Amino acid sequence: MLREHIPDLSKCVEPDRVRREVYTDPQIFELEMQRIHERVWIYCGHESQIPKAGDYYTLQIGRQPMLMVRGADGKISVLYNRCPHRGNMMVGDRHGNAGEFFRCSYHAWTFRHDGKLRSIPMDSAYAGTRFGKDNPDCSMKRAARVENYRGFVFASLSSEGVSLKEFLGDAIVAFDDMCDRAPEGEVEVVPNCFRVIQHSNWKIFLENQLDALHPSVVHQSTGRAAHDIEKKLAKQSGSAPLSYHMLSAFATVTIDKWDNFQTLNYPGGHSVLTGYMGLRPQDPDTVAYDKIMIKAYGQKRFEEIVGVNIHHVIVYPGLSVQSPLQQLRAVRPLSVDRTLTEIWHFRLKGAPEAIYRRSLAYYNLVNSPSTLINADDLENFWKCHQGLAADAGDWVSFGRHFGRDIEKDGHVESGPNMGTSEAPMRGQMKAWAEYMRA
């Protein structure tokens, strides 16, 4: 495919551009799984997905099929979804309850919720062999490290590396912001998520999330149509449903307005989009929520919480969090040109039902696989990946506002009135190169 073959990965990334095979080469994808996704902290799920002992939820970390399970002692384990006997997948359902123990459906070996071997049928048949309760290899393999931050469970398949808090760094604000907006200081998952398979490389999705240039271009037609109806309804009845404004903003927030926002780009590829205050209408539902929050936190702390000005956070390499909207998207690479995204929504514990319904409406309007907004993005992700096959140049450019970034206190900020800078993409690819060199 390439006019010039570059086996040295260090030459694939330059400060303002990236070689196209970074997105299209299956061998590079395999290395990414080894050196990035199967080493760093990856989001597994929320503890409220598995409320009872024996509850499990399956997921993918890199190429590894895993499951998150709650034990009888309340502790959460993350296990490889594989029986150590003959390699049979331990559970085939996406989620469920294992009962008092896991039982392999092939030869009936059983395991405790933490993966430890419980019994082997007629184990005398293994007398004198390497199989037996004293051999740790006869237990289900566990993720090397598991940590929980405010209910959000992460795992790393590598025994070496920094703690979860160190890994998250300043991007930890995504989880604090979401939980702090709940009167009880906690969130709980909405049981069903949207699962979308994108026919494109996983990095294309992550680069899009803080791309402030694209919304006014890609989603203009959807936003304009919603805005026309919104104006018509407002003229007829004096107001229009809030749902129309959720969509019309994609047309009314123009490129020059996006430039007024800012990105903060941290080591490890994490990024934060600031300068975008969400809707705070003074309707009865919002007023009722505010009163509950003030009672729970006090006036000063309440104002601090609702004054946190972030719209979107990227936790590289596998998570996109929109905390004011109570949602996140987990990125699960499947192959070099196929990516699964799981789009989860959360309920603020203690908040009025009306506030939940409002955020749920946005979740459905913008992130459902059937919406025009999501369809706009999915089409462009696919077109990007297909276009990279064209023999029309070997580089992908991230040059917008290059050279104007501001280095400050260990992170990189997009310059003033440069919110549409491609600084987040430059930061992600710098992290990618560092991980791949390791």
- pLDDT tens for 162-205 read 999 999 999 999 999 999 999 999 999 998 899 999 999 999 99
| Average pLDDT across the chain, whole number | 92
CATH number belonging to the domain at 169-212+259-437, selected among 3.90.380.10, 3.60.110.10, 3.40.50.2300, 1.10.260.40: 3.90.380.10
Pairing of strands 319-322, 110-111: unpaired
CA dist list (Å): 352 to 153, 301, 355 = 26, 19, 6
**Cβ(338)–Cβ(324) below 8 Å:** no
Assign 62 to helix, strand or coil: coil
Is residue 289 a contact partner of residue 352, using CB atoms and an 8 Å limit? yes
How far is CA 174 from its chain centroid?
A: 11
**What are the tokens at 437?**
């060199």
Q: Is the peptide bond before 317 cis (omega within 30 degrees of 0)?
A: yes
Does the pLDDT value for residue 275 go beyond 80?
no
Domain 42-156 class, CATH top level? mainly beta
- Structure-block tokens of residue 70: 């709650």
- Residue 163: its pLDDT value, please? 98
At 340, give phi and psi (nearest 5°). -95, 130
- CB of 198 closer than 8 Å to CB of 381: yes
3-state helix, strand, coil in the chain (%, to 5): 40, 25, 40
Let me know: does 408 contact 262? Beta carbons within 8 Å. no
42-156 with 169-212+259-437: one CATH topology?
no
Separation of first and last alpha carbons in the chain: 27
* Range from 52-56, 142-146, 305-309, 342-346 carrying the lowest mean pLDDT: 305-309
Range of 42-51, 213-222, 246-255 with top mean pLDDT: 42-51
Stretch 133-162: mean pLDDT: 95
CA distance 347 to 353: 9
**R_g (Cα) of the chain, nearest Å:** 24
Phi, psi at 432, each rounded to 5°: -55, -45
The residue among 157, 171, 170 whose CA lies nearest residue 209 is 171
Type of residue found at 407: E
Q: Which of 99, 65, 102 shows the shortest CA–CA distance to 82?
A: 65
Distances (CA, A) of 189 to 150, 178, 223, 366: 13, 12, 29, 18
Q: What is the pLDDT of residues 84-102, one digit of tens each?
A: 999 999 999 999 999 999 9
The answer to whether 2 and 394 are in contact (CB under 8 A) is yes
**Domain residue limits, the chain:** 42-156, 169-212+259-437
Q: Are 339 and 202 in contact (CB under 8 A)?
A: yes
Q: Which residue has the tokens 């009306």?
A: 354
